[in-house]
Amino acid sequence: MIKIGVSGALGRMGKRVINLAKNEKDLEVVFGLEKKGHPEIGKIFEGVKIVENPEEIEKCDCLVEFSTPEATLEHLSYLVKFKRCAVIGTTGFSQEEIEKIKEASQNIGIVFSPNMSISVNLFFKLIKETAKILKGYKVYIEEAHHVHKKDAPSGTAKKIAEILNKYGFGIKIEDIKAIRKNEITGDHKVIFESNFDKLELFHSAKTRDIFAQGALLAARWIVEKEAGLYSMEDVLFLE
């Protein structure tokens, strides 16, 4: 039995991770971690106690993070202290903050990905293969999410830009079209265009469960690995 802790437990993603995990025979959610002073501290959500003390991290084998950059970075020191691995799905990190995650991964195993969805990571693979071939094309990135999403553009869109820039496309963050509207779970489109034709690659998430499922898959995978920084491409053997 793999013991899971969920950080950001009462957020949109945290709730879905807890709900899906309770139906998995090999997983047990041993606590839900929330920020200090949260009104639900000490209460039970879907059979899981909500706590505020990061010392609780010692009780889990793997911490699944869907919180804030600030909370995630705070928890890193506890993860290293207790030698616990992590799956980080939190987005909105600065480059300096990402370096701190890399530093922690020298001591513990971390899966760090802006998007835990299995199909989105296949989407990344398709973008990579297309970029190798259509080098003379202009490329545009568009993304749309619900109005509650704090960071824009999304971590997924930034990852797409990173992939494209490895092949010389020179995409800047400000070039990404980001839409915040209604309750859109997550749409991403990449457009390759020339004077002769246009190719569009599109992914649309119907529910948040695709991200939660991927996070649980990553948790199962990382508990067996040595210290290091891994991506969902590693988990899915897409590299």
Catalytic residues: 145, 149
82 alpha-carbon distance from chain centroid: 22
CA distances from 110 to 27, 121, 127, 227, 233 (A): 18, 17, 25, 7, 13
Contacts of 102 (CB under 8 A, 6+ apart): 229
Alpha helices in 134-224 (DSSP H): 155-165, 209-222
Alpha helices in the chain (DSSP H): 12-21, 69-82, 95-104, 118-133, 155-165, 209-222, 232-235
Phi/psi at 178 (5° precision) = -115, 125
DSSP state of 54: G
Omega prior to 54 cis, within 30 of 0: no
Edge to edge, the sheet with strand 44-45 lists 44-45, 48-51, 27-33, 2-7, 62-65, 85-88, 109-112, 228-230
- Determine how many CB atoms are found less than 10 A away from the CB of residue 206: 8
First-to-last alpha carbon distance for the chain, in angstroms, is 29
